[in-house]
C-alpha cells in the first residue's frame, strides 16, 4: 500500500513538471551559433511568438522572459529576417516596452511565412497587428492614446495605408 502511494505521488509529481515545462515554448538547450541553426528553430520561434501574443504580460513571468530572450536572440542573429524599425511606427515603445516585443514578433512571423517579400510594409503591418492584439488583451499594459488610435485605424481597415504613410515620412528624413 505504501509503495502504491509513493508510486502515485511520483507519477503525479512527474505529470505536474511535464505540464509546467510545456508552458514554455522555448526549446531546451537550443543553440544559435551557425546560420543553419536559425532555420532549424523557425517552428519554435513561431510557437514562441504565438505564446507571447496570447499569454497575458502579467502572468508566467519566468516563461515569458525566457520566450522574449529566445525571440530577441533569434531575431538578432537570423540571416533571413531583418526588421526595419521606424520611429513613426513604433510610437508605443516608450509607454509600453512589452509592445515592442509583440511588434518584433509579428514582423518576424510575417518574414518567416513570406520569405519572398523583402519590403518592410507588410512586416510592419503584421507587427502592428500583433501590438493591437496584445494591447487589447490588457493585463499589464498601460492605456495609450497612440495605440488607441492604431486600434481605430485598424478597425476602419486603414492600418496598411497609415503604415505606408509613416514609412514614407521616414524615407524623407
The tens digit of pLDDT for each residue in 65-92 reads: 999 999 999 999 999 999 989 999 999 8
Choose among 51, 37, 119, 35: nearest CA to 83.
119
Which is it for the CA torsion 28, 55, 161, 91, positive or negative?
negative
pLDDT band at residue 100 using 50, 70 and 90 as cut-offs: very high
What distance in Å separates the CA atoms of residue 115 and residue 111, rounded to the nearest whole number? 6
pLDDT value at residue 3: 38
Residue 166 · residue 83 · CB < 8 Å: no
49-63 in b/e form (b: 16+ CB < 10 A) is: bebbbebebeebeeb
Residue 135 · residue 96 · CB < 8 Å: yes
Reading the block at residue 140, the C-alpha cell is: 499589464
Q: What is the pLDDT of residues 122-173, one digit of tens each?
A: 999 999 999 999 999 988 889 999 999 999 999 999 999 999 999 999 877 6
* pLDDT of 95 strictly over 50: yes
pLDDT band at residue 14 using 50, 70 and 90 as cut-offs: very low
**Angstrom distances, CA of residue 136 to CA of 48, 64, 78, 160, 164:** 19, 18, 29, 19, 23
Which of the two residues, 57 and 173, has the higher pLDDT score? 57
What distance in Å separates the CA atoms of residue 102 and residue 137, rounded to the nearest whole number? 12
**Angstrom distances, CA of residue 47 to CA of 25, 27, 31, 40, 136:** 6, 10, 17, 13, 20
Q: Which parts of the chain fold into alpha helices (H)?
A: 2-22, 35-40, 42-54, 61-77, 97-113, 121-137, 145-155, 159-172
pLDDT value at residue 115: 95
Which is it for the CA torsion 33, 38, 47, 159, positive or negative?
positive
Amino acid at each position: 500500500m505504501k509503495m502504491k502511494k509513493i508510486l502515485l505521488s511520483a507519477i503525479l509529481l512527474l505529470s505536474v513538471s511535464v505540464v509546467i515545462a510545456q508552458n514554455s515554448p522555448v526549446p531546451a538547450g537550443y543553440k544559435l551559433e551557425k546560420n543553419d541553426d536559425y532555420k532549424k528553430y523557425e517552428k519554435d520561434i513561431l510557437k514562441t511568438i504565438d505564446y507571447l501574443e496570447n499569454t497575458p504580460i502579467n502572468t508566467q513571468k519566468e516563461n515569458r522572459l525566457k520566450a522574449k530572450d529566445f525571440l530577441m536572440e533569434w531575431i538578432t542573429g537570423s540571416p533571413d529576417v531583418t526588421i526595419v524599425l521606424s520611429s513613426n511606427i513604433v510610437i508605443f515603445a516608450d509607454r509600453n516596452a512589452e509592445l515592442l516585443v509583440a511588434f518584433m514578433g509579428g514582423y518576424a512571423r510575417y518574414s518567416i511565412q513570406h520569405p519572398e517579400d523583402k519590403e518592410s510594409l507588410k512586416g510592419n503591418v503584421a507587427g502592428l497587428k500583433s501590438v493591437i492584439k496584445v494591447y487589447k488583451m490588457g493585463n499589464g499594459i498601460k492605456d495609450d492614446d497612440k495605440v488607441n488610435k492604431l486600434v481605430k485605424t485598424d478597425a476602419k481597415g486603414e492600418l496598411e495605408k497609415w503604415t505606408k504613410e509613416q514609412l514614407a515620412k521616414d524615407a524623407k528624413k
